Chain A
Amino acid sequence: MTPDRPVTILIAALGGDGGGVLCDWIVEAAHHAGLPAQATQIPGVAQRTGATTYYVEVLPTARARLGERAPVLALNPAMGEVDVLLASELVEAGRMIFNGWVTPDRTTLISSSHRVFAIGERVAMGDGRFDVGRLLRAVKERSKAQILFDMDQAAEEAGSVLNAVLLGALAGCGRVPIPDQAFEAAIRAAGKSVDANLAGFAFGRAHARGELEQAVRAHQKRQAQARGVEDLIGRARQALPLAAHDIVEEGVRRLADYQDRAYAARYLDRLDAVWSAENKAGGDGALLRETARHLAVRMSFEDVIRVAQVKVSAERFARVHAEVRAKAGEPLVITEHFKPGIEEICAVLPPALARRIMAWAERSGRLGKWYWSMHVRTSTVSGFLRLWLLSKLRWWRPRTWRFAEEQAQIERWLQQIRHAAALSLPLAREIAECARLIKGYGDTHKRGSHNFARIEAAVIAPALAGTMAAPLAVDAIASARVAALADPEGESLARTLAEIAQRTQEVPRAAE
């Protein structure tokens, strides 16, 4: 580094990450080291969640050697002139790359690898998460060196805060002319949570210097626990292609836990039929795999019995304890929020009775108006007992209206898949995928089912009847499904279906 050229540090953080404190530490550390430094910031408003940026310049020449001369330090970063980028979150690092601040000839990129999801990612009806795969490639290709690890986790493990870990990584990266002691002195001078911040600093520095590796926390997908279904799993392995085994086994376990063995066996019967249709059409099991996944979810639809089952399980109690970070010996009161309406209550009544009540409720305008708000304390004996008894109603479930309705719809859907498989395997897969739309409770479930029905009427039915060409239908279903998940008001779906209708009308005309 040339003595007269300042070392430049750009910091990207989120409101509440302590970017300002980080900046102060760096300036203070430079001061301790006798180096001229200047920081400034675009802090945004006082609120959290917004992106904030900070910019620091440190002249590597000691103040004492400058005499009367004072450097003119910049307040704005310049493209191609950033030595170190510090980012407290992965997409924020990405934003700095996107804006051109990170360059492969000069910039050391130091970023936490964890994600804090932006509002746009969180509100999506399906999966709106930004795909970080390409971002990670850009990180590698667009920076000179990279120090990337989960600083959120590191801070937690060190009992510290993220910005202290970032400061440690900055000290450890070897790009700033400030000695470790000066950084530590700055933390001490600030006088707040000194020990915790020093611990975070030490962790970040050691990681940046390659002196320690972070244990990666794997995301474990939970598996349903069910015993005594080994024979059913054996049967599945025999009858179904390898590609679908893991999914089918999970499905079998799930449904035995949800209802009983017989129900799990029924799942396999249904899959047998789908596989035979796919097999006949020359498929490799891809259709079966997708269908098996959705079928298990559809067959384990959420009713009050299911919810009670989940809520009273011992495993769930342990999970809540861990999630809310209750220490051993700290009593925990858990209150559940329920608000069943007429429909949820009818769901567990016999079909004939349920239909009569539903008809009355609809006639009298009470459907969707009458709800019973219940706050149940599952950590008390009486509250637990209420849900526990409900969870014991599993034997009754096959006699309920909801069960009958769900089975009829499932049969219809499976029938369409089998029928479509004979015409076109991609079409069958698209129909299978549509099950993704049906999820949730109350209005969400209603909206999903309604969207499914609209796609069924507009595309699936004509495709199966042969009035719409299969390749056209495949595209149409895929785009309709995306549209259905675009907005809760259903406006995108309406637009997409209208376009599809127009396109299908154009085809015969074009042929004429």
Chain B
Amino acid sequence: MFDQPPAAARTNPERSFAEEVRSLRLGAGEVFRGEGVLAVTKALLQSGVAYVGGYQGAPMSHLVDVLVESQDLLDELGVHLETCTNEAAAAALLGASINYPIRGCVTWKSIVGTNVAADALSNLASPGVIGGALIVVGEDYGEGASIIQERAHAYALKSSVWLMDPRPNLPTIVHCVEKAFELSEATNTPVMMELRIRACHVSGSFVAKDNVAPAISRNARLAEPVPQDYGRISHPPSTYIQEKLKVDVRQPAAQRFIVEQGLNELLPGEREDLGIIVQGGIANVLLRGLDRLGLGDAFGAVQVPTLVLNVTHPLVPDQITDFCAGKRAVLVVEEGAPDYLEQAIGALLRKKDIGTRLHGKDVLPMAGEYTAEVVTEGLLKFFAQTANDIDLSRPMQALEQARAGRAEAQRLIGAPLPLRPPGFCTGCPERPVFSAIKLLEREVGKVHISSDIGCHSFATLAPFNLGNSILGYGMSLAAAAAVAPVMQKRTISVMGDGGFWHNGLLSGVSSAMFNRGDRVLVVMQNGYTSATGAQFLPSSAGNRRDGNNTSDIAVTLRAMGVRWLRTIRTYNVSTMLGTLREAMTTKEPGLKVIVADGECQLARQRRIRPLLAAALKRGERVVRTRYGVDDAVCTGDHSCIRLSGCPSLTIKASPDPLRDDPVAQVVNSCVGCGLCGEVADAAVLCPSFYKAEIVQNPTWWDRLMTRLRSAVIGRLQGREPAADVR
């Protein structure tokens, strides 16, 4: 009913970045227009990188995605692109710059990606690099973040990696990327650049330069490796020397470079008695805040001298103390906890015996995003405590008025608005698995569900509310290792194919096999890392380099020694339920794995829509399938929605004047996956679901049969009186 190719034959979802690819080819003097992430990508090519790599994750996915589509350009320049299978691999990729004078850049989502990369990162930072090494992290912090809230800053501090946090406009971002490579080479140290979500997606323009082909590259290979230098190996005794080099040589070099190149910006202002030190990434919020208080303007001029730190590690002690000296008070605007900058600045002032009062987290909150409201309030408090000659009554009143207005709005609306958490897409192949788990729980009772990172984590939200913990990407099986032994029923771990290849195979499967874990693992095999925008993974069909298939999950599991293994097409809820039941109850000991197979529906739609349109245009017979609900049969209990949650299965006012409860309806976005029918069947719900197959470009046979059928059916319906009145 829902034809889809087997996993090994699914083709590229064909997202098009043609426009983006064109902007990467811009030459000197041409104006680049686009968003932040793409500007970074262009800046890399302008800086002569020899290799780029990374692991996808919002808000950085776009960087590698666009490069994947730019293979021609990369081949011309000789740039190697590695689509890494996790962030540790990406960090290790930078190892090329330890021994060779080649520039490289990797990217990932932070904090999670930085955590995964941490080991390689330490081992990279210790010997240091001779070719510029840049790590661009998407700092997923604040509104819209999808992960734990921690700062990448800690890694820069502990590994002695320099951290850039540029002002969120394209010229500064591009300039910082270029300077980052120089800084890295001048100091033999990898440089990390953090970009927050809004900065990654900010639109803007800059004047492009020509792309630079690296001197050593795929196109210009080295005859032989460099002679071994034990000093570049992160083993003792080298590590003792490396640690000293970090603090005695590299850090002072970095501080010199920062000052000489003017990486941090000093915005002068007439109020010399006060000062503000701000991270570059939130400079715009601060500058608009000063404007709001009448202490600045729309073009970034300020009355209070402001030091914008486009490099937040290392700090330059003289720069800080020179800035603070002679001022009555300085405010540090630093987002997130802990307050690394404020502590460091405080220590600097104390050591130099500078009496300037230091404010920061006392007037600004320790945790949470520094939004306009938060920063405005912080500034008001700071000036109220330090400069009573500044008249703040007007902005103070405006803030209070806005807050009172918000309270009034909330009072008017009365009740909290319905939440709109992310959920599975229409036709998602993962949803049926959770429908089956819900039905399973009706039989066996509640089960401990160990969840993972990926689209399937949405099952922890309504309507499924399934999942007891998330311990990281690919960690769900490992996270059940100590739960299973204390549980009468087996545990179910759910993992995507993305998580499987990222970490789950080793951290989860091999460990479970090794320890004879008696658990159930469901691997969602949809063919891509879908949550991050359908990137290829080792089990995707048609590798981007040569079109051949690479690795197969089931074959890999067998090779790992997994004996109880089933591959199930997810849309068949009854079969999925039966398989889960068997996995939960079989006498077979050890790990039981269900590979739940179904192509990502977003990818599928992207793939088939143009094909269908073309077939229709050619006049070929095309059958469009969708589902519907008979509103006269539906009684408005919505069990079907509780078991499915499909966005196209929604509600409408009941057409029955005698009933108040809204009835279910299938809206036009339905892709005909058939889950609602399957669920109605498996859960024995109600007979209101129907499947409709609309035959487009019908053949003469279709038309003849339809005419015959309509004639008979029409006569029977015609004879049927509206009411049998006796």
Binding site for B on A (CB under 8 A): 4-6, 14-15, 23-24, 27, 31, 37-51, 53, 55, 59, 69-81, 91-92, 94-95, 97-100, 102-104, 116-127, 129-131, 134-135, 137-138, 141-142, 219-223, 225-229, 246-247, 250-251, 253-254, 256-257, 260-262, 293, 296-297, 302, 307, 310-314, 316-317, 320, 323-326, 329-339, 341, 371, 373, 378-381, 384-385, 388, 391, 394, 436, 439-444, 448, 488
5 A-B pairs whose Cβ atoms sit less than 8 Å apart in the complex: A80-B398, A229-B723, A312-B716, A334-B692, A443-B683
| Interface locus among B39-47, B200-208, B239-247, B359-367 | B200-208
Chain A nearest CB from B400 CB (Å) reads 10
Cβ-defined partner of A441 (8 Å) among B408, B423, B686: B686
Decide: A324 near B402, CB < 8 A? Known: A48-B425, A257-B722. Answer: no
List chain B residues, Cβ under 8 A from A38: 202-204
Q: Are A335 and B636 in contact (CB under 8 A)?
A: no
The 10 closest A-B pairs by CB, nearest first: A100-B406, A42-B144, A226-B723, A78-B372, A50-B422, A118-B418, A228-B725, A80-B402, A79-B402, A72-B300
For residue B216, CB closer than 8 A to chain A, the reply is no
Please, which residue of chain B has its CB at the minimum distance from the CB of A323? B628
0/1 string, B626-662, CB within 8 A of A gives 1:
1010101101111101100101011101111111111
Q: Which residues of the other chain, B, contact A104 by a CB distance below 8 angstroms?
A: 405
Knowing A314-B717, A324-B626, A331-B698, say if A439 contacts B636 (CB, 8 Å): yes
At the interface, yes or no: B3 with Cβ under 8 Å from chain A?
Answer: no
Q: Is B405's CB under 8 angstroms from A80's CB?
A: yes
Could you tell me if B298 and A254 are in contact, using CB atoms closer than 8 angstroms? no
Rounded to whole Å, the gap between the CB of B206 and the closest CB of chain A is 11
Q: B199 an interface residue at 8 Å Cβ cutoff? A: yes
In the bound complex, do residue A40 and residue B409 qualify as a contact, i.e. CB atoms below 8 Å apart? no
Find out whether the CB atom of A76 lies under 8 angstroms from the CB atom of B405: no
A102 to B402, CA, bound (A): 9
B593 at the A interface (CB under 8 A): no
**B95-103, B349-357, B529-537, B584-592: which lies at the interface:** B529-537
B 375-403 to A, binary, CB cutoff 8 A, 1 in contact else 0: 01000000000000000000000110111
Residue of A220, A246, A439 near B635 (CB, 8 A) is A439
**Judging by beta carbons under 8 Å apart, are B284 and A103 in contact?**
no
Contacts A103-B405, A320-B692, A331-B706 known; 9 new A-B pairs at CB < 8 A: A31-B33, A38-B204, A48-B647, A75-B285, A91-B420, A97-B413, A100-B403, A123-B463, A391-B720
Chain B residue with Cβ nearest A395: B724
Query: Cβ of A125 and Cβ of B690 under 8 Å apart?
Result: no
Q: Give Cα A385–Cα B405 distance, bound, in whole angstroms.
A: 64
The chain B residue with its CB closest to the CB of A156 is: B668
CB pair B681 A373 closer than 8 Å? yes
B482 within 8 A of A: no
Contact mask for chain B residues 544-566; partner A; CB cutoff 8 A; 1 contact, 0 none: 00000000000000000000000
Give A24 to B641 CA distance when docked, in angstroms: 35
Tell whether, in the assembled complex, residue B412 and residue A69 are in contact, meaning their CB atoms are under 8 Å apart: no
- Given known contacts A50-B422, A121-B418, A296 and B203 CB-to-CB distance under 8 angstroms: no
Q: A141: shortest Cβ distance to chain B, in Å?
A: 6
Q: Which residue of A lies closest to B702 (CB)?
A: A331
Given A49-B423, A118-B419, A320-B690: A134 and B405 within 8 A (CB)? Answer: no
B541 part of interface (Cβ distance < 8 Å):
no
* Chain B residues touching A, range: 35 or more
Cα–Cα distance between A335 and B146 once the two chains are bound (Å) = 41
Indicate if B501 sits at the interface (CB-CB under 8 A). no
CA distance in complex: A488, B639 (Å):
9
> How many Å from the CB of A373 to the closest CB on chain B?
6
Q: Is the CB of A141 within 8 A of B658?
A: no
B412 touches A141 (CB 8 A): yes
Structural contact, A444 and B651, CB atoms closer than 8 A: no
Interface-facing stretch out of B70-78, B340-348, B707-715: B707-715
- B297 proximal to A (CB < 8 A): yes
Within 8 A of A (CB), among B650-702: 650-651, 653-662, 668, 677, 680-681, 683-687, 689-696, 698, 702
Question: Contact check: which of B409, B647, B687, B698 meets A330 at CB < 8 Å?
Answer: B698
Looking at the assembled complex, report how far the CB atom of B294 sits from the nearest CB atom of chain A, in whole angstroms.
13
Q: In the complex, what residue of chain B is closest to A5 when comparing beta carbons?
A: B298
- Contact B723–A46 (Cβ < 8 Å): no
Tell yes or no: B424 within 8 A of A by CB: yes
In the complex, chain B residues whose CB is within 8 Å of the CB of A98: 406, 409-410, 413, 417
User: Within B181-226, which residues are at the interface with A (CB < 8 Å)?
Assistant: 197-199, 201-204
Q: Which of B58, B285, B401, B626 contacts A45 (CB 8 A)?
A: B58
A-chain residues with CB within 8 Å of residue B463 when the two chains form the complex:
119, 122-123
Does B602 sit within 8 A of A, measured CB to CB?
yes
Q: CA of A48 to CA of B649 in the docked complex: distance in angstroms?
A: 14
B511 at the interface (CB under 8 A from A): no
Of A72, A138, A221, A229, most B-chain CB atoms within 10 Å: A72
Report the bound CA distance from A253 to B532 in whole Å: 55
> When the two chains form their complex, are residues B723 and A247 in contact, meaning their CB atoms are under 8 A apart?
no
Contact indicator B288/A100 (Cβ below 8 Å): no
Q: Mark B506-550, 1 if CB is under 8 A from A, else 0.
A: 000000000000000000000000111110000000000000000
Contact residues in A for B696 (Cβ distance below 8 Å) = 330
> Does B462 reach chain A (CB closer than 8 Å)?
yes
Collect the chain B residues with CB atoms within 8 Å of residue A123's CB.
462-463, 638, 641-642, 645
Task: Using A48-B425, A229-B725, A441-B685 as known contacts, say yes or no to A118 and B420 having CB atoms under 8 A apart.
Answer: yes
Determine whether the beta carbon of B692 is less than 8 Å from that of A75.
Answer: no
Across the interface, do B703 and A331 meet the contact criterion of CB distance under 8 Å? yes
Is B373 on the interface with A (CB-CB < 8 A)?
A: yes
A6, closest chain B residue (CB):
B298
Residue of A nearest to B411 (CB): A138
- Point out the residues of chain A lying under 8 angstroms from B602, CB to CB: 46
- Report how far A250 CA is from B657 CA in the complex, Å: 8
Within the complex, what minimum Cβ distance (angstroms) separates A106 from chain B?
Answer: 10
* A253 CA / B202 CA spacing, docked (Å): 62
In the bound assembly, the distance between CA atoms of A80 and B376 in angstroms comes to 12
Contact A47 B417 (CB under 8 A): no
Contact with A along B311-340 (1 / 0, CB 8 A): 000000000000000000000000000000
- Decide: B685 and A79 in contact? CB cutoff 8 A: no
A44 touches B637 (CB 8 A): no
* Residue contact B725 to A256, C-beta cutoff 8 Å: yes
Any A CB within 8 A of the CB of B614: no
Chain B residues near A256: list those with CB within 8 A.
Answer: 723, 725
Most chain B C-beta atoms within 10 Å of own C-beta, residue among A323, A336, A488:
A323
> Which residues of A have CB within 8 Å of B693?
332-333, 335
Query: Is there an interface contact between B373 and A78, defined as CB atoms closer than 8 Å?
Result: yes
- Complex formed: what's the CA distance from A346 to B650 in Å? 32
Q: Is the CB of B198 within 8 A of A40?
A: yes
Which chain B residues border A448 with CB–CB below 8 Å? 637
Least Cβ distance of B15 to chain A in Å?
11
B248 within 8 A of A: no
Quick check: B201 and A331 within 8 Å, CB to CB? no
B292 CB–A CB distance under 8 Å: yes
A102 neighbours in B (Cβ, 8 Å): 409
Given the interface contacts A75-B199, A314-B714, does A331 sit within 8 Å of B695 by beta carbon? yes
Smallest beta-carbon distance B446→chain A, Å: 10
B2 contacts the other chain (Cβ, under 8 Å)?
Answer: no
CB distance from B35 to the nearest CB of A (A): 8
A92 to B639 Cα, complex, angstroms: 26
Q: Which of A23, A53, A229, A439 is most buried by chain B, counting CB atoms within 10 A of its CB?
A: A439
Q: Is B726 an interface residue (CB 8 A)?
A: yes
Min CB gap B639→A, angstroms? 6
Q: Which of A92, A123, A320 has the most CB of B within 10 A?
A: A123
Proximity bits, B267-307, A CB within 8 Å = 1, else 0: 00000000000000001110110001000011110000000
Q: Contact at B695–A76, with CB atoms within 8 Å? A: no
